[in-house]
A and B are shown apart, each in its own frame.
Chain A
């Protein structure tokens, strides 16, 4: 290209609310893995973040993934990293950063799961409550 477009925007001091909406089962498609990469990169930008699991996406955080028979990488430990990022955000008052990990109640119950089945601590919200949270977001990213 003859002329480089402006590559960096002035984002200093801007704090936005991001939602990462996980809707797909963990290994049937690549969406779950690649959205995780998105979430982890976003931590460096010190924005507010809601990592949300709905539909078959709730299976992403079920305990005890064993992918040997699938010959696929078991990326479930990365959810523990997200939980640590959330704890960092909770613990650092100066950063004024809010991270939430949310599971939609209806999706969880329809699959016979409870919060005890998950490998990380989550907030369980009804579909209506989640709709309000989404409404309050600035940016909703998913896959």
Chain B
């Protein structure tokens, strides 16, 4: 199945991003094709490479980046939401790219299912 994913929350305040990460990882392991993960609202904070969680906690920014590298996964951060929150190329973590909201609508059209993570 072709899957699109929307992540609406940041990596620490809310569980949504963790759940999305585990969902995407499991979907890929089951052989599904995750076309794109789109980060919107505070979800753009998942792409902040300055993020430094304590050493004994999971580092979602890095986990997303590693997953992208391993599976050539397309991680897209919404530019309008990102600029508001100070997420720019200078601090963009590896594996992410910044683009427009059209990328979300496009994947919604192309995917068999679009799954949203957030409140």
Verify if B63 is at the interface (C-beta below 8 Å from A): no
B105 touches A47 (CB 8 A): yes
Q: Contact size class for B?
A: 20 to 34
> B94 touching A142 by the CB < 8 A rule?
no
Decide yes or no whether A111 CB sits under 8 A from chain B. Answer: no
List of B residues within 8 angstroms of A8 by Cβ = 106
Contact with A along B74-104 (1 / 0, CB 8 A): 1000001100000000000011010011111
The reply to whether A5 and B73 contact each other, CB–CB distance below 8 Å, is: yes
Bound Cα distance from A64 to B119, whole angstroms:
28
List, in ascending order, chain A residues with CB within 8 A of B21's CB.
none
Q: Known contacts A5-B72, A9-B110, A30-B41; is A141 also within 8 Å of B116 by CB? A: yes
Which residues does chain A contribute within 8 Å of B102, judged by CB atoms?
A: 41, 44-45
The listed residue (B68, B95, B114) touching A141 by CB distance below 8 A is B114
Task: Choose the segment among A10-18, A87-95, A96-104, A123-131 that binds chain B (4+ C-beta atoms closer than 8 Å).
Answer: A10-18
Which of B40, B97, B100 has the most CB atoms of chain A within a 10 A radius of its CB? B40
Indicate if the CB atoms of A7 and B74 lie closer than 8 Å: yes
Smallest beta-carbon distance A47→chain B, Å: 7
Q: Does A143 lie at the interface of the complex (its beta carbon under 8 Å from any beta carbon of B)?
A: yes
What's the minimum C-beta distance from A13 to chain B, rounded to whole angstroms? 10
Q: Chain A: interface residue count, which band? A: 20 to 34
Tell yes or no: A42 within 8 A of B by CB. yes
Query: Smallest Cβ distance from B24 to chain A, in angstroms?
Result: 14
A139: B residues at CB distance < 8 A: 108-109, 114
Q: How far is the CA of A10 from the CA of B80 in the complex (A)?
A: 25
Also in contact, A41 and B105, with CB within 8 A (given A1-B95, A5-B73, A141-B116) = yes
Known A9-B110, A34-B41, A45-B102; judge A1-B94 contact (CB<8 A): yes
Chain B residues near A (Cβ < 8 Å):
6, 8, 35, 40-41, 68-69, 72-74, 80-81, 94-95, 97, 100-110, 114, 116, 118-119
Q: List 17 A-B contacts (CB under 8 A).
A: A1-B68, A1-B95, A5-B72, A8-B106, A9-B107, A9-B109, A10-B110, A11-B106, A11-B109, A11-B110, A31-B41, A37-B80, A41-B101, A41-B105, A44-B102, A142-B116, A143-B119
